[in-house]
């Protein structure tokens, strides 16, 4: 990692000052779920931060998995990332249009494959625009490069891992809305049962963000939010959500408060809720 690495979060001011750094690659990693009717790639073409490229989490994914955006194997990840013009000397800065929603998954994917020179624009495009950041329609394609992953970290949880953790009463934290977690609110994934993984706790991802700027809350507030969820952050955690996207916001927040013993359940409720062989709790 570069000695100039600014950390997992960068401010709009930092990005403004470093917008034209030679080793910087800014990626728009926006995801819109089908029920929003929005197309992230089309929106990128209409407006984006200068020098940014589109990081398609639907494409940089496991082609064999019927569920969308599931983690690709190391070879696919390296090939796809290299094709975007990213190599092992690149500082990747990810953002998304809602502020912080899907960009954290880019940070997690790179960390999973041992690459740490990745940051997230705090507040994303929302905060960038609030501060008068430049917006463009001009495309800035990059020449393909070679990206290599040396290791795979233990940051991924699969269905059997989660089932075992649930049966043993281990710490599982769900990032969905309280209504979806309780089963009182319709789920966004057709065919998924209402409710949550037995013995899991709930911390809605948006409660970790400032409601207007969409920036991550200060560390003391993050610690308070985790405490209020009933989870013990000193224990290893499994983080889950609807489809493996917003769980990465929980991971980023934990990283910010110095907690690194966590794994992302990639299948999340999109997988668990559809599988009738798996147990579900509901407060509905």
**Which residues participate in catalysis according to the annotation?**
241
| Biggest alpha carbon–alpha carbon distance for the chain | 53
* Residue 191 region by backbone torsions, left for phi larger than 0, else alpha for psi between -120 and 50, else beta: left
Is 40:97 a contact under the CB 8 Å cutoff? yes
Percent of the chain as helix, strand, coil, to the nearest 5: 30, 15, 55
Alpha-carbon gap, residue 196 to 147, rounded angstroms = 38
Alpha-carbon gap, residue 186 to 273, rounded angstroms = 12
DSSP string of 200-243?
-EE--GGGGB-TTT-PBPPHHHHHHHHHHTT--TTS-EEEE-SS
Burial 144-164 (b: 16+ CB within 10 A, else e): ebebebeeeeebbbebeebbe
Is 94:120 a contact under the CB 8 Å cutoff? yes
Is 202:277 a contact under the CB 8 Å cutoff? no
């Amino acid at each position: 990692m570069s000695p100039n690495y600014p950390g997992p979060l960068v401010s709009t001011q930092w990005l403004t000052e470093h917008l034209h750094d030679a080793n910087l690659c800014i990626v728009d990693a926006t995801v819109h779920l089908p029920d929003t009717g929005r197309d992230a790639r089309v929106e990128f073409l209409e407006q984006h931060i200068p020098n940014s490229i589109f990081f398609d989490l639907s494409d940089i994914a496991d082609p064999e998995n019927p569920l969308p955006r599931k983690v690709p194997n190391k070879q696919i990840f390296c090939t796809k990332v290299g094709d975007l013009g990213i190599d092992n000397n690149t500082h990747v800065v990810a953002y998304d249009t809602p502020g912080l929603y899907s960009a954290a998954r880019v940070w997690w994917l790179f960390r999973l494959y041992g690459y740490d020179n990745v940051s997230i624009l705090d507040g994303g495009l929302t905060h960038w625009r609030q501060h008068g950041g430049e917006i463009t329609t001009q495309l800035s394609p990059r020449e393909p490069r070679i990206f290599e992953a040396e290791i795979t970290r233990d940051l991924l949880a699969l269905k059997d891992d989660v089932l075992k953790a649930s049966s043993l009463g281990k710490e599982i934290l769900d990032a969905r809305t309280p209504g979806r977690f309780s089963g009182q609110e319709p789920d966004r994934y057709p065919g998924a049962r209402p409710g949550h993984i037995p013995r899991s706790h709930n911390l809605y991802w948006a409660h970790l963000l400032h409601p207007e700027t969409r920036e991550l809350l200060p560390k003391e507030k993050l610690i308070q939010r985790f405490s209020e969820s009933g989870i013990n952050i000193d224990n290893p955690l499994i983080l889950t959500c609807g489809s493996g996207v917003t769980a990465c916001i929980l991971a980023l927040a934990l990283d910010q408060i110095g907690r690194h013993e966590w794994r992302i359940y990639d299948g999340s409720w999109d997988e668990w809720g559809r599988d009738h062989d798996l147990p579900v709790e509901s407060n509905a």
